[in-house]
Amino acid sequence: MYAERHTAFDTAHPLVPAVYATITIGLTMFAFQPVLIVISLAGGLLYECVYDGPRATVMSLRWQLPFILIVALVNPLFSASGSTELFRLGPRAVYLESLCYGCAMGGLFVASVLWFRGAAHLVPFDRVMTLLGNAAPTIALMISMSMRLIPRFVRQGKLVAAVQDVAAACAGHERSVNTGARDAVASRLRLSTVLMGWTMEDSLETADAMRARGWRADIRRTTYSRFRFTLLDALRIVVLVLAGCLCGAIAAAATGQYAFYPRMSELVLWWGYVPYAAWMLVPGVLHVREEARCQ
Amino acid sequence: MKSDVCAAATAVPAIEMRDLSFSYAGAKKPVLRDLSWRVEQGAFALLVGGTGSGKSTLLSLCKPGITPAGTRTGSVEVLGAPVEALDTAASARSVGYVFQNPENQIVCESVWHELAFGLENLGTPQGEMRRLIAETSYFFGIDDWFRSDTATLSGGRKQLLALASTLVMQPRVLLLDEPTAQLDPIAEKNFLHALFRVHRELGCTVIVATHRPQPMVDYATCAFELADGRVSRVANLAALREQPRIDVAGDAACGERASSPASEKLGHAVELCRAWFRYGRREPWIVRNMDLAVREGCIHALVGGNGCGKSTLLALMAGVQRLQRGTLRVTSKARALLPQDPRALFMADTVRDELMEWADRGAYDEADASRALARVGLSDSEALHPYDLSGGQQQLLALAKLLLLKPRLLLLDEPTKGLDIDARRRVASVLRTVRADGVTVIMASHDLDFVQQVADEISMVFDGEVACTAPREEFFQGNVYYRP
């Protein structure tokens, strides 16, 4: 049965979390500076932790940490720049700067993935539809339809494959037939033929059902949208955009004065990290508040 | 809510057809000939007739947007207005249409969007749309699953949703084409009850085309029969209530066989012992601690509600899925699985090519294929495309195709779903001949008429276990609710 998850911006117009998610992903992807990456990563992890629970977060660390490590180790092989030579690997020198650059790259990638996932929680699919539905009803409908068709296609494909396999095994029982790679390819080709025929046939009926309910009636489509854009929402967006600009300026300043090569710039304590961290913590904190409110 | 407008307008019939003829594009003979038909407003009318008699075509003529390609002569009027005068929007507002297949007529991925779809098309203002959707949801009790994904709904709920999302546009005439053919008996009753309320409480004119009128007779106010391209009124509604005879010839032979001492000695074709199965680690058990033995050379039916695990059992027996715990013993590895939708098997352009697809693997030739076609009575259709066959013919073709592989164990999932009485008889006779060859048949079915008249043994599956297994005579004697 359908279970609704409550999270940050639960009661706001979907545009509000959409603005937040867009700015956050933008900041994360473009702020290539170690401290900012760590802050973004921490914010993303915190949100995932409060949303999915610590267990799921630890489980996802199982691929995230090795991934950062691999990128860190692979980077020196491709870019042999820097000034602090650690050791030589055959003819190539491995520099500390290059290793750190790889680490930062890996961290940035993982943080981006985390925030994309966070965005999916913050703006769930039906809210995306609401946003789209007002602007481009036909596109919204197309997305809605494909969301319905794809799992169905997969389900039918599995069924066709199962039936074919059973039939093949039945025939093979009588006579030993060599089922090599060529047969396997042929059978999957056959599967797609069957699926095409089946789906086309079904879609004819769907088209009829759509026409029967007035599809393409040459009237401007309206939408059933449950979200209202209030003054408060406008206010929230203004605040988010202003704060986002501040964070963008901070990120630009921090990234601009930092360099990995030839020697890594020194990191100092700076007031600018505080608002940036505050920004990244917003969904985690709001989620906890939302949960507390429900109880 | 039965409005005065409706009562005042009863002089205008809901549907009136005069001297109507229709032939499909490219066909020589017309499917409907000089037909006249009148349905009064406020009626709950049944339109009976076999598959291919033109019921769907007749209904679709009332909605120009979905009429098949062809030529029509004569007049069709809906609520006093000729259908040509109705544009898409006007037609959607006045005439609702519910199709047979719940899977295909659902357009959107969530329930709320599906309900809104028609109103969105008609450009209904948001305030009015919300009111209509709220009202309709309450009327059908959809409010509990309003935010669900349509993919997660059962077939019965999908069909109810299709009805609701048509009625939300407030049509005054509702046409339904075999609306319950794909549903199990319980879901069918639910759907019909909702339909009855639509008729009684909303005063909507309801016309249902069906080849199986028995469950609907109690609700109907009149019935028409479509045969040989003409509509005639059925004088005696009660006559439609009779249980159809599916098994005409083989009855006696079957009884003998089941009770003969020889068959008692036969072994078991399939044996499940303390079987457990689930689809994923977090999923519930579908099969829990199940014991089941199917005798060799017997037609064994599995009955039970939707989602009780019948199809899963067939997949297990076919070797598509594996048990997590317990044992499954299948005597012969030569088995074939026929899924609910025979189209899962079709890939060729003609019926003949379809049968020859597995000729190499199955070591059979053209002559075998011709015999197989003759056995299911499709010899005339050799050159047709499989998709141009009727539902029943498709089922028979799929059966013939599988039988060419000479399986010793035939697994059928809902072999009579949506089939008319003629096609069911054919399937029954094929199953009998197959059994005479010593093949074991296991079928999952909702069609209790069919099960009662064709199966040797019946098991009721409930909650992942077998609630009871009995020879068919005993099985239905003992059942209080679960009977045809």
Residues B180 and B261 in one domain: no
B66, B344, B361: residue with CB nearest A159: B344
Judged by CB atoms closer than 8 Å, whether chains meet at B122 and A4 is answered as no
The yes-or-no verdict on residue A276 having pLDDT over 60 is yes
In this predicted structure, which of A149-158, B32-41, B153-162 has the lowest mean pLDDT? A149-158
Residues B182 and B264 in one domain: no
Amino acid A295: pLDDT? 60
B133, B337, B361: residue with CB nearest A171: B361
Amino acid A199: pLDDT? 87
Interface check A6 vs B, CB under 8 A: no
The Cα B345–Cα B343 span in angstroms is 5
Q: Which of B438, B471, B439, B478 is nearest to B454 (CA)?
A: B471
Judged by CB atoms closer than 8 Å, whether chains meet at B109 and A145 is answered as yes
Q: How confident is the model at residue B359 (pLDDT cuts 50, 70, 90)?
A: confident
In chain A, positions 143-172, which contact chain B (CB-CB < 8 Å)? 144-145, 147-148, 151-152, 156, 159-160, 162-163, 165-172
| Token pair belonging to B100 | 């047979």
Does B217 reside within a domain? yes
Map tokens 């050791």 to a residue.
A87
- Residue spans per domain, chain A: 15-127+232-294, 131-212
- Beta carbons within 8 Å of B149's beta carbon, 6+ residues apart: A2, B109, B110, B111
Q: Are B398 and B158 in contact, with CB atoms under 8 Å apart?
A: no
Q: How confident is the model at residue B186 (pLDDT cuts 50, 70, 90)?
A: confident
The yes-or-no verdict on residue A152 having pLDDT over 50 is yes
Q: How confident is the model at residue A30 (pLDDT cuts 50, 70, 90)?
A: very high
Does B25 reside within a domain? yes
Does B62 reside within a domain? yes
Indicate the number of domains in chain B.
2
Q: Is B184 helix (H, G, I), strand (E, B) or coil?
A: coil
- Among B217, B241, B265, the domain boundary falls at B241
Q: What are phi and psi of B209, to 5 degrees?
A: -90, 130
Query: Which stretch of DSSP H or E encloses residue A64?
Result: helix A54-78
Residues B141 and B224 in one domain: yes
Judged by CB atoms closer than 8 Å, whether chains meet at B360 and A141 is answered as no
The burial class, CB within 10 Å (0-12 / 13-18 / 19+), for B288 is: middle
Amino acid A240: pLDDT? 96
- Beta carbons within 8 Å of A61's beta carbon, 6+ residues apart: none
| Token pair belonging to B455 | 């199966």
Residues B165 and B89 in one domain: yes
Residues B230 and B273 in one domain: no
**Residue-range definition of the domain harbouring residue B174:** 4-241
Amino acid A180: pLDDT? 67
What's the Cα-to-Cα distance from B424 to each of A125, B49, B242, B251, B368, rounded to whole Å?
A: 44, 15, 16, 15, 24
Does B359 reside within a domain? no
Mean pLDDT value across residues B161-166:
96
Does B33 reside within a domain? yes
Amino acid B2: pLDDT? 44
The yes-or-no verdict on residue B261 having pLDDT over 60 is no
Does B358 reside within a domain? no
Model pLDDT for residues B429-457, shown as the tens digit of each residue: 999 999 999 999 999 998 888 998 899 99
Amino acid B264: pLDDT? 53
Which residue type is seen at B363? A
Judged by CB atoms closer than 8 Å, whether chains meet at A218 and B406 is answered as no
Q: Which residues of chain B lie closer than 8 angstroms to A168, CB-CB? A: 361
ipTM: 0.85
B273: which strand partners?
B327
Q: Is B73 helix (H, G, I), strand (E, B) or coil?
A: strand
Q: How confident is the model at residue B260 (pLDDT cuts 50, 70, 90)?
A: very low
In chain A, positions 173-202, which contact chain B (CB-CB < 8 Å)? 173-175, 177, 190, 193-194, 197-198, 201-202
Judged by CB atoms closer than 8 Å, whether chains meet at B346 and A202 is answered as no
The yes-or-no verdict on residue A176 having pLDDT over 50 is no
Q: How confident is the model at residue B315 (pLDDT cuts 50, 70, 90)?
A: very high
Report the b/e string of A10-32 with b at 16+ CB within 10 A.
Answer: eebbbbbbbbbbebbbebbeebb
Amino acid A29: pLDDT? 93
Interface check A216 vs B, CB under 8 A: yes
Shortest distance between the Cα of B478 and any Cα of chain A, in A, equals 35
Residues B214 and B160 in one domain: yes
Q: Which residues of chain B lie closer than 8 angstroms to A214, CB-CB? A: 88-89, 91-93, 118, 121-122, 169
What's the Cα-to-Cα distance from B237 to each of A82, B198, B217, B231, B241, rounded to whole Å?
A: 93, 21, 7, 15, 8
Does B391 reside within a domain? no
In this predicted structure, which of B174-178, B196-200, B243-247 has the lowest mean pLDDT? B243-247
If you compute the radius of gyration of chain A from its CA atoms, what whole number of angstroms results?
26
Amino acid B290: pLDDT? 93
- Among B196, B211, B241, the domain boundary falls at B241
Model pLDDT for residues B467-479, shown as the tens digit of each residue: 999 998 888 887 7
The yes-or-no verdict on residue B303 having pLDDT over 80 is yes
Residues B458 and B329 in one domain: yes
Q: Are B430 and B393 in contact, with CB atoms under 8 Å apart?
A: no
The yes-or-no verdict on residue A226 having pLDDT over 90 is no
Residues B212 and B109 in one domain: yes
A171, A215, A221: residue with CB nearest B405: A171
Tell me which of B56, B63, B120, B345 to substitute to probe the interface with A (most A C-beta atoms closer than 10 Å): B120
Model pLDDT for residues A83-134, shown as the tens digit of each residue: 888 888 777 788 888 889 999 999 999 999 999 999 988 988 777 877 777 6
Q: Which residue of A has its CA nearest to B337?
A: A163
CATH number at residue B421: 3.40.50.300
Interface check A223 vs B, CB under 8 A: yes
Does B375 reside within a domain? no
Residues B152 and B267 in one domain: no
Residues B261 and B216 in one domain: no
Residues B303 and B164 in one domain: no
Amino acid A52: pLDDT? 87
Q: Is B182 helix (H, G, I), strand (E, B) or coil?
A: coil
Q: Which residue of A has its CA nearest to B340?
A: A159
Judged by CB atoms closer than 8 Å, whether chains meet at B66 and A167 is answered as no
In this predicted structure, which of A180-184, B32-36, B328-332 has the lowest mean pLDDT? A180-184
Amino acid A50: pLDDT? 92
Judged by CB atoms closer than 8 Å, whether chains meet at A213 and B92 is answered as yes
Residues B63 and B163 in one domain: yes
Judged by CB atoms closer than 8 Å, whether chains meet at B320 and A174 is answered as no
A148, A159, A167: residue with CB nearest B336: A167
